[in-house]
C-alpha cells in the first residue's frame, strides 16, 4: 500500500487490517441518535422513523452529526436493521415502544416474502454516498446490517422479545423451513451490504444482537453458519473490505464464531472478561467493550473503566467501542469526556 492510500485508510482500517495503534481508534455503536439534541431536531423533520431512514439528506446528516461533534475515527451509516424485513415485503412501523412488524407465521413459512422489493433499499446507498462525501478522508464509514438470526427474531416475534419462543420453536420444530427464512434474509442482506460497499462503505458490521440466546448446536447452525456464508460471499466480491462480526452475548462461543466465520474483527459485549477479550485478540482484532452505563455515569467510573479496557487490549489490534449501544439518556458531555480520555496515549 502506498503512503497515500494508507493515509486514506485511516486509523480504523489500519487496525482492522491487524495493526496495533495507541491511542486506539474509536467509535460508538448507536453514536447517532436520541442522546444528541441535534439529532432530535433533525428527526423532527420526518413523520416517521422509516421515512427518516429512507431520506438520504436527513440520514446522511444524522450519520455525520456525532463525528462533527466528537471526532470519532468512524461514522456508522444511519439506517436500521429492520429495513431488510420491510424490503422482503413485511410491513414495519416504529412506535413509542420500539419496532412493530406484522408477524411471519411458522405455518405460512416464507410465503408472501420475496426479493422483489430489495430496490426499496436504494435510498440507503445514496445515504452512503452523501455520508462518504461529507466525511474527512481519514474517517472511515461503516456500513451495517443485522445478521440473519437477529433479523429473523424480529420478523417472527413481530418486534422485540423476552424469550424468543416463537422463533426458537420454529427453528427447533422445522429446521428446514426456518433455514429457508434465513436464506432469504441472507440473500437480501448480501445485496444490502454489497450496495453499501459499492456506494462507498469502507467496512461493514454484522449485528447479531440476539446471538446469545441459542444453545451451542443451534448457535452453530443459526448464528455461525449464516455469518460465515455472508463473510465468504462478501470476501469474494469485496476482498479489501473488512467485516466486523458482533455476536452479542455469545459468551464462551465467541472464539468459535471468530474462528469459523473468518471475520476481520469481533465486537465483544460488556460482560466478556478483559482477559478473555485479550485471548481473542490472538486470533482477530477486538472491538469493545465499555458498559454503556459507564458512559451514562461519566466521571471517575468512566475514566477507570476506559483505563482498564485500554490496559488489557492495547497490546494488539483493538477498536475502542461500547459493549452495546449508547443509551438515549447519556449526556453528550460524557462522550466528549470519553474523546478526551482516548486522545492521550495509555499511561
Ligand atoms: O448510530 C448508529 O448506530 C446508526 C444507526 C442504527 C440504528 N439502529 C438507528 C436507530 C443502527 C446501527 C441500528 C441497529 C439496530 N437496530 C439493531 C442492532 C443493534 C442493537 O441495538 O442491538 C437493532 C436490534 C435494531 C432494531 C431497532 N431499531 C430497535 C429494537 C429499535 C427500538 C429501540 C430504540 O433504541 O429505540 C430501533 C429504533 C432505532 N434505530 C432508533 C435509532 C436511532 C431510535 C428511533 C428514533 O430515533 O426515533
**Residue listed under C-alpha cell 473503566:** 305
pLDDT class for 42, splitting at 50, 70, 90? very high
Closest atom of ligand 1 relative to the 77 alpha carbon: 4
Residue of 31, 33, 321 to test ligand 1 pocket, by largest number of atoms within 8 Å of CB: 33
Query: Which pLDDT does position 2 carry in this prediction?
Result: 40
**Poorest-pLDDT segment among 14-18, 62-66, 95-99, 183-187:** 95-99
Query: Which pLDDT does position 3 carry in this prediction?
Result: 41
Q: How far is the CA of 105 from the centre of ligand 1 (A)?
A: 24
| 167: nearest Cα among 183, 179, 155, 185 | 155
**Cβ atoms 288, 277 nearer than 8 A:** yes
Q: How far is the CA of 118 from the centre of ligand 1 (A)?
A: 20
90 CB within 6 A, ligand 1: no
Summary mean pLDDT of the chain: 96
**Cβ atoms 75, 131 nearer than 8 A:** yes
DSSP 3-state of 132: helix
Q: What is the pLDDT of residues 51-81, one digit of tens each?
A: 999 999 999 999 999 999 999 999 999 999 9
84 CB within 6 A, ligand 1: no
Residue of 80, 146, 153, 323 to test ligand 1 pocket, by largest number of atoms within 8 Å of CB: 80
325 CB within 6 A, ligand 1: yes
* 25-44 average pLDDT score: 98
In this structure, how many other beta carbons lie within 10 angstroms of the beta carbon of residue 119? 11
144 CB within 6 A, ligand 1: yes
63 CB within 6 A, ligand 1: no
What lies within 8 Å, CB to CB, of 61 at 6+ separation is: 42
pTM, to two decimals: 0.96
Q: What is the pLDDT of residues 174-207, one digit of tens each?
A: 999 999 999 999 999 999 999 999 999 999 999 9
Question: Residue 5 above 50 pLDDT?
Answer: no
Over its C-alpha atoms, the chain yields an Rg (Å, rounded) of 19
Residues labelled as active-site residues: 30, 34, 43, 80, 154
Query: Which pLDDT does position 8 carry in this prediction?
Result: 46
Q: Which H helix or E strand runs over 337?
A: helix 332-343
3-state helix, strand, coil in the chain (%, to 5): 55, 15, 35
pLDDT class for 344, splitting at 50, 70, 90? confident
Q: How far is the CA of 342 from the centre of ligand 1 (A)?
A: 25
**What residues pair up with 144 in beta bridges, in sequence order?**
205
Q: What is the pLDDT of residues 143-181, one digit of tens each?
A: 999 999 999 999 999 999 999 999 999 999 999 999 999
Residue of 30, 141, 295, 328 to test ligand 1 pocket, by largest number of atoms within 8 Å of CB: 30
Query: Which pLDDT does position 346 carry in this prediction?
Result: 76
Q: What is the pLDDT of residues 204-261, one digit of tens each?
A: 999 999 999 999 999 999 999 999 999 999 999 999 999 999 999 999 999 999 999 9
Q: What is the pLDDT of residues 281-316, one digit of tens each?
A: 999 999 999 999 999 999 999 999 999 999 999 999
Amino acid at each position: 500500500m502506498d503512503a497515500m492510500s494508507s493515509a486514506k485508510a485511516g486509523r480504523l482500517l489500519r487496525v482492522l487490517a491487524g495493526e496495533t495503534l495507541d491511542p486506539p481508534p474509536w467509535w460508538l455503536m448507536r453514536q447517532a441518535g436520541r442522546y444528541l439534541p441535534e439529532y432530535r431536531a433533525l428527526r423532527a423533520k420526518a413523520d416517521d422513523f422509516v421515512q427518516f431512514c429512507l431520506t438520504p439528506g436527513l440520514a446522511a446528516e444524522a450519520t455525520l452529526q456525532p463525528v462533527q461533534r466528537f471526532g470519532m475515527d468512524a461514522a456508522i451509516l444511519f439506517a436500521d436493521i429492520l429495513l431488510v424485513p420491510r424490503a422482503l415485503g413485511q410491513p414495519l412501523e416504529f412506535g413509542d415502544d420500539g419496532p412493530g412488524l406484522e408477524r411471519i407465521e411458522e405455518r405460512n413459512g416464507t410465503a408472501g416474502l420475496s426479493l422483489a422489493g430489495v430496490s426499496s433499499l436504494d435510498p440507503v446507498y445514496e445515504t452512503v454516498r452523501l455520508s462518504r462525501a461529507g466525511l474527512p478522508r481519514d474517517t472511515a464509514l461503516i456500513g451495517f446490517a443485522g445478521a440473519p438470526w437477529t433479523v429473523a427474531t424480529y420478523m417472527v416475534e413481530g418486534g422485540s422479545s423476552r424469550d424468543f419462543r416463537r422463533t426458537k420453536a420454529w427453528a427447533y420444530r422445522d429446521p428446514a423451513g426456518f433455514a429457508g427464512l434465513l436464506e432469504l434474509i441472507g440473500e437480501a442482506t448480501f445485496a444490502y451490504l454489497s450496495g453499501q460497499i459499492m456506494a462507498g462503505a469502507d467496512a461493514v458490521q454484522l449485528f447479531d444482537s440476539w446471538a446469545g440466546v441459542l444453545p451451542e448446536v443451534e448457535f452453530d447452525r443459526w448464528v455461525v453458519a449464516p455469518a460465515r456464508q455472508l463473510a465468504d460471499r462478501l470476501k469474494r466480491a469485496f476482498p479489501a473490505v473488512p467485516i466486523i462480526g458482533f455476536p452479542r452475548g455469545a459468551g464462551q462461543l465467541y472464539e468459535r464464531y471468530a474462528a469459523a466465520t473468518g471475520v476481520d474483527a469481533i465486537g465483544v459485549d460488556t460482560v466478556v472478561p478483559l482477559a478473555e477479550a485479550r485471548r481473542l485478540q490472538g486470533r482477530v482484532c477486538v472491538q469493545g467493550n465499555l458498559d454503556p452505563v459507564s458512559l451514562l455515569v461519566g466521571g471517575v467510573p468512566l475514566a477507570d473503566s476506559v483505563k482498564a479496557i485500554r490496559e488489557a487490549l492495547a497490546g494488539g489490534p483493538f477498536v475502542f467501542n461500547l459493549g452495546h449501544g449508547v443509551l438515549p439518556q447519556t449526556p453528550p458531555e460524557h462522550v466528549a469526556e470519553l474523546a478526551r480520555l482516548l486522545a492521550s496515549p495509555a499511561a
